[in-house]
Amino acid sequence: MGAVTVAVDANGADLGPAEVAAGAAIAAIRGVRVVLYGPAEQIGAAPEGVEVVDAPVSIAKVPDPARAVRATRRASIVQVAAAVAAGDADAFVSGGSTGAALAAGLFEVKRARGIYRPALATPVPIPGNPITFLDVGANVEVRSEHLVQFAFMGAALAQTVLGVARPRVALLSNGEEPTKGTAVVVEAHAMLAERTRGSAALEFVGNIEGTDLTRGAADVVVTDGFTGNVSLKLLEGLSQTLLGAVREAALSSPRAKAGGLLLRPALRGLRDQIDPEGAGGAYLLGLRRLGVVPHGRFTRRGFSQAILLAARGVSGDLAGRTHASLEAAGALRRAPAGAGAPSGSAASVPSP
Amino acid sequence: MGAVTVAVDANGADLGPAEVAAGAAIAAIRGVRVVLYGPAEQIGAAPEGVEVVDAPVSIAKVPDPARAVRATRRASIVQVAAAVAAGDADAFVSGGSTGAALAAGLFEVKRARGIYRPALATPVPIPGNPITFLDVGANVEVRSEHLVQFAFMGAALAQTVLGVARPRVALLSNGEEPTKGTAVVVEAHAMLAERTRGSAALEFVGNIEGTDLTRGAADVVVTDGFTGNVSLKLLEGLSQTLLGAVREAALSSPRAKAGGLLLRPALRGLRDQIDPEGAGGAYLLGLRRLGVVPHGRFTRRGFSQAILLAARGVSGDLAGRTHASLEAAGALRRAPAGAGAPSGSAASVPSP
């Protein structure tokens, strides 16, 4: 991974630019070349292996990120995307606003040829049954052909980054039967059943319900960005709430307290395993190059994981493999030459 | 509750009609009069306080429940709904197929005046922060005015059955800002903000994300039946998976084993608290009278809770209060006299 360069946006993190810089330092030790765009004054001395570019302008909190990206060329998120577009970096990382990252990606890096819509895809560390989940927020409303592309994008991710040879891909729905779901889901089901017959890239296992998502029924789970965002945050919220309830149960009596003390190291392992920071955030797939969007609330650990996630995606040529897989399946958009332009990008930024 | 009569469908339960009968017996001991419709041969001797009506025909597993309800007048689910429509029972309970229960409810009991669509509303036992969640599967696609009605229906439930004086009601979305969500959610947000200003029935607290749903940010959470069904099953699945992982952690070393043994009683309490059987299932709201839909996989305990849930709703006049609350808010459908007919019911049965 020594050859990989990642452009990192230091603005927008809840804990401030210095925390992102600390994460960059960890990733640099692990062999990634990091260029950090943010307020040099707050970042201070550049850590070893990290180049700092002074970029104090942030649009992480603006209400209309698509417009801000076009109007604010000096914004750090625009600069990291532009660095990737110019070939100065291989991928970008931004924990500011998903909407701004998506808009900057579309505007600077541009959609890959034949892709309808970029999607946010994230590993979800469900105990015993990790899954790749998309779209977790790039597109609150989708058409069936978007879901079909997401299936191949997610499969390429699981194959390239997680090493799953032929990922089992499922559509999230309110029932297993092909007739269950919204009209869009039902149509996507039929299209996927046809498009994936005999596919080497993935095995389409049909619809799965929420219950089965946590039980290892699929490696990749596909849904629209509204359902995906709500679901991902439900999973994160409930994990915290339940582990909190276990902790409280372990304070409910002297006997339980003794048990809790003995059990603590084992439970700490479980807590670490399901911690979203370990996953590093979500890949922005479907652009000509990769982006990674960590949670704004991450600590340095999460940001370092996000940078390493980006580097892993670059090393495995995730963008190229995604494209090849879509092409092999005949799932690329058939459009006049020159498609992939950033037109209409504003419309596709109703983000999380 | 001695005066309440509940018509119960014994068909469709995973564990068979005898298990439903055992649940009916428990509810009868608690003072509910139960009329049980199912195969008398499999049910055997009627338990004390339970009347058995031989109804061996089941449509719980048919692919097109709306059509089956019209064509199969002898089906047990049709008979329980007809008993309610005729005034022979105050509410019905069916754990067979949600689609069939919804279709039978629409066809026999009929939509209440001014209601666009019935919704499935269920208490969700999140530790420390129980919520009322709807729609969990009656309508996979909704319009904004449906979500507005669901808000008042859920609030009436929380008020009547759970005793929450002025429930905080939220819309589930992919961000807290009023601009976040699908077009339908954004429109529903604006309508609710206006309709609920100064309302005594509920406090509209705006959008909440998945993370906040588990943290007590609202008493009632409103969404469409697709997102609601997926979310509810995710919550159930993850609860089981996480408690299973805690159990495994408690087997990972001799030290952890000792801790697990000491902690077991306290964790059993948590497990019981979040067990979906304790909640009893979902209310079918928006009909002229109440229905309750338990999980088909429930044991006798869950079915007894479902019958008690139905009886509680009847005692508190949940159907009447829902209507009064919608009327006071001006949220009833303004339609020519005679609205509420079952026309179009087939279209509204794309169920979970």
Q: How far apart are CA A224 and CA A205, in angstroms?
A: 18
Identity at A19, one-letter amino acid code: E
Selection from B155, B150, B178, B154 nearest residue B166 by Cα: B155
Residue tagged 């960590």 (tokens)? A294
Q: Which residues of B touch A250 (CB under 8 A)?
A: 263, 266
Chain B nearest CA to A207, separation (Å): 11
Interface with chain A: mutation pick from B129, B136, B226, B239, highest number of A CBs within 10 Å: B226
Query: Quick one: A125 and A270 in the same domain?
Result: yes
Domain count, chain A: 2
Tell me the whole-structure pTM to 2 decimals. 0.91
- A165 and A103: one domain? no
Q: Is the dihedral of CA B27, B33, B37, B39 positive or negative?
A: positive
Residue A118, pLDDT score: 95
For residue A145, report the phi and psi dihedrals to the nearest 5 degrees.
-70, -25
β A91-94/B119-124 pair status: unpaired
Closest CB to A232: pick one of B210, B256, B352.
Answer: B210
Is the Cβ pair A210, B232 closer than 8 Å? yes
**B161 and B31 both lie in a single domain:** no
Cα separation values, B34 from A352, B7, B264, B290, Å = 48, 6, 37, 15
Structure tokens belonging to residue A167 = 């990922």
Distance CA B231, CA B233 (A): 5
Per-residue model confidence as pLDDT tens digits over A100-125:
999 999 999 999 999 999 999 999 98
Single-letter residue type at B191: M
Residue among B64, B177, B262 with most chain A CBs within 10 A, to mutate: B262
User: Residue A226: which of B182, B242, B256 has the nearest Cβ?
Assistant: B182
What are the backbone angles phi and psi of residue A203, rounded to the nearest 5°? -115, 120
Based on the domain organization, do B165 and B60 belong to the same domain?
no
Average pLDDT (B217-225) is 97
Bridge partners (DSSP) listed for residue A316 = none
pLDDT attached to residue B336: 55
State the pLDDT at residue A5. 97
A-B Cβ pairs (cutoff 8 Å, strict):
210
Query: Where does residue B336 rank: exposed (0-12), middle (13-18), buried (19+ CB within 10 A)?
Result: exposed
- Contact indicator for B201, B325 with CB cutoff of 8 Å: yes
For residue A335, the model assigns a pLDDT of: 63
Residues B294, B141 contacting (CB under 8 angstroms) = no
pLDDT digits 0-9 by tens, B287-319: 999 999 999 999 999 999 999 999 999 999 999
Closest-CA residue of chain A to B249: A266
**One pLDDT digit (tens) per residue for chain A, 352 residues:** 457 999 999 998 999 999 999 999 999 999 999 999 999 999 988 888 899 999 999 998 888 888 999 999 999 999 999 999 999 999 999 998 889 999 999 999 999 999 999 999 999 988 888 899 999 999 999 999 999 999 999 999 999 888 899 999 999 999 999 999 999 999 999 999 999 998 888 999 999 999 999 888 999 999 999 999 999 999 999 998 888 888 888 888 888 888 888 888 888 888 888 888 888 999 999 999 999 999 999 999 999 999 999 999 999 999 998 888 888 888 898 865 444 444 433 334 433 3
B122 bridge partner residues: B133
- B210 contacts A236? CB cut-off 8 A: yes
Interface contact B210-A237, CB threshold 8 A? yes
CB contact under 8 A, A182 and B270: no
Task: Pull the structure tokens for residue A185.
Answer: 């889901």
| Residue B178 shares a structural domain with residue B253 | yes
Query: Which one of B174, B183, B261 has the shortest CB-CB distance to A230?
Result: B174
Chain B: residue whose CA lies nearest to A213: B234
Which chain B residue has the Cα nearest residue A230? B210
Res. B347: pLDDT tops 80:
no
Domain hosting residue B252, numbered range:
123-277
Whether residue A293 is found in the same domain as residue A271: no
- List of chain A residues whose C-beta atoms are within 8 Å of the C-beta of residue B234: 210-211, 213-214, 231, 234-235, 238
The number of helix segments (H) and strand segments (E) in chain A equals 13, 11
Can you state the angle between helices A225-249 and A254-274, rounded to 10 degrees? 150
Question: Do A107 and A9 belong to one domain?
Answer: yes
How are the residues of chain B apportioned to helix, strand and coil, as percentages rounded to the nearest 5?
A: 45, 15, 40
DSSP for B248-278 reads: HHTTSSHHHHHHHHHHHHHHHHHHHHH-HHH
pLDDT at B130: 87
CB contact under 8 A, B259 and A255: no
pLDDT the model gives residue A276 = 86
Q: Which of A252, A277, A302 is the last residue of a domain?
A: A277
- Tokens at B135, concatenated: 């729609």
Shared domain check, A232 and A330 = no
Interface test with B, best of A136, A184, A214 (most B CBs within 10 A): A214
CATH of the domain at A342: 3.40.718.10
Task: Give the pLDDT mean for B215-231.
Answer: 95
B34: CB partners within 8 A, 6+ apart: B5, B6, B8, B24, B27, B28, B49, B50, B51, B307
Tell me which of B131, B143, B233 to substitute to probe the interface with A (most A C-beta atoms closer than 10 Å). Answer: B233
Among residues B273, B207, B167, which one has the least CA distance to residue A233?
Answer: B207
Pair of tokens at residue A69 = 């990206």
Measured in degrees and rounded to the nearest 5, phi and psi for residue A205 equal -100, 10
Mutation site, B143, B229, B238, B243, interface A, largest A CB count within 10 A: B238
- Residue B283 to chain A, least CA–CA distance (Å): 18
- In chain A, which residue's Cα lies nearest the Cα of B61? A177
Taking CB atoms and an 8 Å limit, are B270 and A245 in contact across chains?
A: yes
Final residue in a domain of this structure, among A228, A247, A277: A277
Closest-CA distance of chain B to residue A58, Å: 20
**Could you tell me if B195 and B106 lie in one domain?**
no
Provide, as residue numbers in chain B, all residues whose Cβ is less than 8 Å from the Cβ of A214.
234, 237-238, 240-241
Residues A142 and A258 in one domain: yes
CA closest to A175 among chain B residues:
B352
Write the residue in A127, A231, A264 that is nearest to B242 by C-beta.
Answer: A127
Residue A222 to residue A56: CA distance in whole angstroms: 37
Residues of A in contact with B223 (CB under 8 A): 230
Cβ atoms of A293 and A279 closer than 8 Å: no
Nearest-Cα distance to chain A for B137, in Å, is 7
- Report the alpha-carbon distance of residue A314 to residue A153 in Å, rounded: 15
Peptide bond into A88 cis (omega under 30): no
Task: Name every chain A residue with its beta carbon within 8 A of the beta carbon of B238.
Answer: 126, 214, 234-235, 238-239, 242
CB contact under 8 A, A214 and B172: no
Let me know if A141 is exposed, middle or buried by CB neighbors in 10 A (0-12, 13-18, 19+). Answer: middle
Q: Which residue has the higher pLDDT, B265 or A191?
A: A191
Distance from CA of A243 to the nearest CA of B (A): 8
Whole-number pLDDT of residue B335: 63
Contacts of B255 in chain A (CB under 8 A): 262, 265
CA distance A297 to chain B (A): 13
- Cα angle vertex B4, ends B1, B6, to 5°? 125
Asked if the Cβ–Cβ distance from A249 to B266 is below 8 Å, we say yes
Give B33's strand partners: B5
DSSP per residue over A125-186, as a string? Answer: --TT--EEEE-SSS-SS--HHHHHHHHHHHHHHHHHTT--SS-EEEEE-SSSSTT-S-HHHH
Residues of chain A found within 8 Å of residue B246, distances taken between Cβ atoms: 246, 267, 270
Cβ atoms within 10 Å, residue B267: 22
pLDDT band of B344, cuts 50, 70, 90: very low
Verify whether the Cβ–Cβ distance B256 to A265 is below 8 Å. yes
Left if phi > 0, otherwise alpha if psi is -120 to 50, otherwise beta: which for A114? Answer: left
Q: What is the distance, to the nearest Å, from the Cα of residue A316 to the centroid of all Cα atoms in its chain?
A: 16
To test the contact with chain A by mutation, choose from B234, B239, B247, B274 the residue with the greatest count of A C-beta atoms within 10 A, namely: B234
- Residue B262 has its nearest CB partner, among A235, A245, A256, at A256
From B213, B250, B267, residue closest to A249, measured CB to CB: B267
Please tell me which residue of chain B has the smallest CA distance to A267.
Answer: B249
pLDDT in tens, B66-112: 899 999 999 999 999 999 999 999 999 999 888 999 999 999 999 99
Closest Cα in chain A, distance from residue B274 (Å) = 10
Whether A188 and A48 map to the same domain: the answer is no
Same-domain status, B205 and B297: no
Residue A125 and residue A274 in contact, taking contact as beta carbons nearer than 8 Å: yes
> Is there a contact between B250 and A234 if contact means CB atoms under 8 Å apart?
no
The Cα of B225 is separated from the nearest Cα of chain A by a number of Å equal to 8
Interface test with A, best of B235, B236, B270 (most A CBs within 10 A): B235
Among B277, B307, B335, where does a domain finish? Answer: B277
